[in-house]
Structure 1
Amino acid sequence: MKNLDITIMGRDFRIACPEQEETSLMMAVELLDDRIEQIKSAGKVVGADRIAIMAALNITHEMLNLKMANSDVGMAEFRQRIQHMQEIIDQAMLEQNRLF
């Protein structure tokens, strides 16, 4: 295991990582930080924790879409569940924005 210093959302973290996975982990850090920056610059989501959650949800959604692209079994249900989660998040964000 190797300790890596990474930066996400301007915050520094030290994480342990197997040496053979360092390159892919650094790519994941870059992807996550880029997505966070995109969401932040769009200005629709307020709060660091909400921005991080939205970025993680978006990346996870894309990953699952790719994983299930070759499988139609359960795809309609999966999409419906993701859509439902997105609606809940959107509603929560509307309510949060009204507070400010």
Structure 2
Amino acid sequence: MSNGNSITVQILDKEYSIICPQEERTNLVSAARYLDGKMREIRSSGKVIGADRIAVMAALNITHDLLHKQEVPPVQVAADGSTREQVRDLLDRVDLVLATDSDKAQG
């Protein structure tokens, strides 16, 4: 893609060309660097294998962090059944499945 609105970012050793307005390029590059860093952290832990799984874990971790930093009015938290608890539960489940899959692959 050699479009004037396209920018190439590198995430976990792969290049992605993304169409992006000029005024959003800095934010996109920052987001790509942040995601790349999170994915590299997960990969280097050795607990998760495969780019797809690393991407899912990074997305879950980033979402979890965002929800913890976001100020949600108490009424919303009660109405949605404690989103933070649901995210924690989901992360625990994913960790369990990944650990089980890793054990099967090694055994």
TM-score, with length taken from structure 2: 0.83
Residue number in structure 2 paired with 1:99:
104
Residue number in structure 1 paired with 2:90:
85
What one-letter code is carried by the residue in structure 2 that aligns with 1:93?
L
What one-letter code is carried by the residue in structure 2 that aligns with 1:84?
D
Q: Does the Cα contact within 8 Å between 2:67 and 2:84 map onto a contact in 1? A: no
Q: Does 1:47 align with 2:41?
A: no
Structure 2 runs not aligned, ≥5 long: none
Identity of paired residues, percent?
33
Using the TM superposition, give the Cα deviation of residue 64 of structure 1 relative to its aligned residue in structure 2, in angstroms: 2.2
Residue number in structure 1 paired with 2:73:
71
Residue number in structure 2 paired with 1:57:
60
Structure 1 runs not aligned, ≥5 long: none
| Higher Cα Rg, which structure | 2
| CA RMSD across the alignment | 1.7
TM-score, with length taken from structure 1: 0.88
Using the TM superposition, give the Cα deviation of residue 70 of structure 1 relative to its aligned residue in structure 2, in angstroms: 5.0
Identify the structure with bigger relative contact order (alpha carbons < 8 Å, sequence gap 6+): 2
Using the TM superposition, give the Cα deviation of residue 27 of structure 1 relative to its aligned residue in structure 2, in angstroms: 0.3
Deviations 1:9-55 (A, max 9, x none): 10111110111111011000000000011111111111111111111
Matched residue pairs, number?
99
* Secondary structure of the corresponding residue to residue 49 of structure 2: coil
